[in-house]
Structure 1
Amino acid sequence: MILTDKNVAPFIKWAGGKRQLLPYIQELMPKTYDNYYEPFIGGGAVLFHLMPQKEVIINDINKALINVYRQIKYHPNELMQYLTKIDADIPLEHKAYYYEQREQFNDKMMKDEYDLELAALFIYLNKHCFNGLYRVNSKGLFNVPFNNSNVKSFNAENILAVSHFLQKVTILEGDFEHACQNAKKGDFIFLDSPYAPLNDTSFEAYTKEGFDIPSHKRLAKLFGELSSRGCYCMLTNHNTEFINDLYQDYHKKVITVRRYINSDAKNRKGEEIIITNY
């Protein structure tokens, strides 16, 4: 059974995902638009919630993540065969097995083996690592610890539904500016970049290239350029002075959210901001 497009859900967890903001994003969407662009696709929570019936262009700089999207699009059944084997081999004492699979994943990354097996390992690790984080060290190797769970790594019906939807989606891999180069008047661009720091030392490595202060400034410049083209732009991030200064000329909505990653329960609430140019 293949689910309809209306039933598609994200196939991975993603730290910084936008599920909490979905009602606000939906409310603030332009009433009509042409093509849909998402240059920082991540787990795709917004894409799979909106299910735009337009031309859709998605992108991410995370090569391993984009490999998963492409394998689901073109080889969903073969991917699920790999995942089924990985799950079937999980022993009762799961921790050592997790770290063996993580080592295998990193070995393939070092060899640039972006294939079905890597995609299956990516999904398995995502479901069994701490909080769905994707974090790498300075060598670009995945280093998130085990989360002590024994959940199944995938939902077959949902993988098939995602694959069905992705048939009409253009999947790019690379820099966010390049992903938007063809955006034109009337197109909608949803920008969910890695978060700006809450303080000067809080940047986390999302890919080994990182997303630093100059990257945020470059993104703000692109936001202005897309606005001048007549594109509809929406951007989400932490509600910080830095972000407010970068986007001081645009409309803003501040929302209180729960933060699951902070180890201190007192600091698990924060503010995010949705910025639009319309």
Structure 2
Amino acid sequence: MSTSVLQSPSPRPFLKWAGGKNKLIQQYIPYFPKRFKTYYEPFLGGGAVFFYLNPYSATLTDINAELVNAYRCVRDNVEELIESLEVHQRNHCSEYYYQIRQSNCISNTEKAARLIYLNKTCFNGLYRENSKGEFNVPIGKYKSPTICNPTLLRSVCAALQSAKISVRPFEDILGYASSSDDFVYFDPPYHPLSPTSNFTAYSRNSFNQNDQMRLKEVFAELADRGVKVMLSNSDCEFIRNLYSDFNINLISASRLINSKASKRGRISEVLITSYQR
């Protein structure tokens, strides 16, 4: 008689995030470097690439302090976080949503639970802040959203155990990645394809054309060091010209965040690498 061994589920993003790469991973696989020792992701977001690669050593950063706190709490205090999310799951309704949206949490775990709860129940899973840094997205039209997924959170906790997680601007990567043993993946707010498609201000800190140019300089500096660098962005003339000295690959993606369903369709993006695989 044979016996089966239960395996831990593979980690995957525990947050919805604008521009998340979970559905694009299969297209990215041919472009990941074959060998590296340390993984760096300066625009963490949903972390889909990190969870797919599940590297032994990683440094994960973002300028969004609320996001970074959520990752740290999943890593360091997952059981208490699950307890808080179960409370949100039981109490969820429209009145409760707006009550929590306006609340001021005291502990880091409460703040993380609040972010995850709002993320799972707000409109389109969209993260947006006003000029004061306050989350201001209305409630979504979900009948029974899954707010607490203990199995997923515990698998994410395990994946994050060896990761360094901190609030940092993307330029700080220059103080860390230095050789061909390092792999850096940049997933910045995308350059808008048109004035009406601008969705770069996912927080009070916008990301404009000058920021894109600064990011390119960081990309080039890392490449000169021999670091393996990958970057995703919108497929437009500005980005193609900016990275014309590097390898530009096309990716087919879905436009998911749009107020009109008729405008949610397939669109090309670019995946830029500093190396040949």
Do they fold alike, i.e. is TM over 0.5? yes
| Residue aligning to 2:192 | 197
Displacement after TM superposition at 1:256 (Å): 2.3
- Select between 223-232 and 246-255 the one with higher mean Cα deviation: 246-255
- The corresponding residue for 2:141 is 148
Q: Give the 3-state SS of the residue equivalent to 2:26 in structure 1.
A: helix
AA aligned opposite 1:75: N
- Answer whether contact 2:251 2:270 (CA < 8 A) is retained: yes
CA offset digits 1:36-89 (Å, max 9, x no partner)? 111111011111111123x11111110000000111111101111111111122
Q: Which SS does the other structure have where 1:189 is aligned? A: strand
1:169 matches 2:171: no
CA distance in 2, matches of 1:209, 1:114: 24
Between 134-143 and 254-263, the greater mean CA deviation after superposition: 254-263
Superposed displacement of residue 180, structure 1: 4.1
Cα distance, 1:102 vs structure 2: 0.8
Please name the residue that 2:210 is paired with.
214
Distance in 1 of aligned mates of 2:80 and 2:262: 44
C-alpha distance in 1 between matches for 2:139 and 2:262: 24
Q: Judge conservation of contact 1:3–1:161 (CA < 8 Å) in 2.
A: no
Contact 1:252/1:273 (<8 A) preserved: yes
User: Scaled by the length of structure 1, what TM-score is found?
Assistant: 0.91
Does residue 58 of structure 2 align to residue 56 of structure 1? yes
Q: Is the 8 A contact 1:189 1:234 kept in 2?
A: yes
Give, in angstroms, the shift of residue 258 of structure 1: 1.2
Which residue is 2:28 aligned to? 25
Alignment deviations for residues 91-115 of structure 1 (CA, whole Å, 9 cap, x no partner):
xxx22221111111xx34xxxx561
Cα distance in 1 for partners of 2:11, 2:66 equals 21
CA contact 1:172–1:179 (8 Å) conserved in 2:
no
Distance in 1 separating the partners of 2:185 and 2:228: 9
Give 1:116's aligned residue: 109
User: What amino acid is aligned across from residue 221 of structure 1 in structure 2?
Assistant: E
Matched, 1:235 2:234: no
SS in 2 for 1:7: coil
Q: Report the TM-score when normalising by structure 2.
A: 0.91
Return the letter of the residue paired with 1:235.
L
Equivalent AA in structure 1 for residue 148 of structure 2: F
CA RMSD across the alignment: 1.6
Structure-2 change in CA distance of 1:80 and 1:255 (3 Å): same
Partner of 2:95: 96
| Residue identity in the other structure for 1:169 | A
Change (3 A) 1:22 1:101: same
What is the number of equivalent residue pairs in this alignment? 266
Structure 2 unpaired stretches of 5+: 1-5
Helix, strand or coil: the match of 1:253? strand
Seq. identity, %: 41
Partners in 2 of 1:166 and 1:270 — Cα distance? 32
Give the CA deviation at 1:24. 2.0
Who is 1:277 aligned against? 274
